[in-house]
Structure formats: C-alpha cells, structure tokens
Amino acid sequence: MDTARHPENEGSRLERLISVLECFSAWTACFFLVVNVGDILLGIFCRYVLRSSIVWTEEVARFSLVWMVMMGALGAAVKGDHMVIDFVVPRFSAALRRLVEWGRFFLAVGILSLMIWLGTVNAVQIWHMKTLALNIPKTIPLLSLPVGFALLLAGTVLLHFKEGR
C-alpha cells in the first residue's frame, strides 16, 4: 500500500503545513508587537524622562504595527476570527452551499492574488524613495502587504482543501 497517497496521511500533512504557517505568522506578529511596544516605551522614556525626543520612534511604531497586522492575519483566518456573515448560507441546500463555498474561495484567491501583485508592483516601483526619519527605502514597510497577503493566500488555499476532504 502506498502511504504517500493515503488520504489520512495527506490530511495530516495539510494540517501540519497549516500549523507551521500559523506558527510562523504568530511568531512574526509577536516579534513586531515586541518591537512596537519597545519602540513606544523608548519614545515615552526619552520624551518624559530624558526630555528629548527621538525622531524615528513614530515611524518604527507605525511600520511595525502594519507588519504585525499583516503577519497576524493568517492566524485569525485559521482560527476563524475574521468577520463573516453566515446566517444565510447555512440555510441553503448542500449543493448550493458547496457552490457558494467554491465561489467564495475563488473570489478570495482572486482578490488576494491581485493584492499581492499590486502591492509588489507598488513596493518595487518606489525603491528609490526613502522614509523621512529612518531613511530606509519605502519598499521595506510596503512589502508588508504582499508578504501578508501571500501568507493569507497560502492559508486560504490550504484551509479550503483541508475542509473539502
């Protein structure tokens, strides 16, 4: 018997992959949360204790917040914490529910793919532009969008095929 093609083995492989992606998402979001809180506390300390402001703390706080949200979005998707209105679809017949699920899947894949493409094009096109305080390419904070949407796309595809079993 070929164990590589066994449906239960494929299901556990999907679950492991989803779990790895979710763990990566959570730990990177956690890292950016620590950066964000540390940066804000540093700014407060410098402003009110040392009586001197650090110019770049506001940019770091803003950029780390955006990265944290985009990286943590997959965790919310896996847990089912994204907003959904589900009082109509459960009343449909099984065939119609299946059709709606596939439609929702293709719509999500299309929108996420478009956002990855547009976000990447936008980020790459402004590589030459620098942020005001940190003086880094604006591409670095803007890459949070395509990276976060790519994680979300991978999670969406994996979750769809896991639930479709």
> pLDDT above 90 covers what percent of the chain?
79
Please report the pLDDT score of residue 19 as a whole number.
Answer: 94
Band of the pLDDT at 6, cuts 50, 70, 90? low
* Average pLDDT of the segment spanning 3-23: 80
11 pLDDT more than 90: no
What mean pLDDT is reported for the chain? 91
Higher pLDDT, 7 or 91: 91
Specify the pTM: 0.86
Q: What is the DSSP string of 78-124?
A: HHT-S----SSGGGS-HHHHHHHHHHHHHHHHHHHHHHHHHHHHHHH
pLDDT at 4 exceeding the cut of 60: no
- What is the phi/psi pair of residue 137, to 5°? -60, 140
Please tell me the distance from the alpha carbon of residue 145 to that of residue 111, in angstroms, as a whole number: 13
Q: Which residues pair with 71 in a beta bridge?
A: none
Hey, where are the domains in the chain?
Answer: 3-163
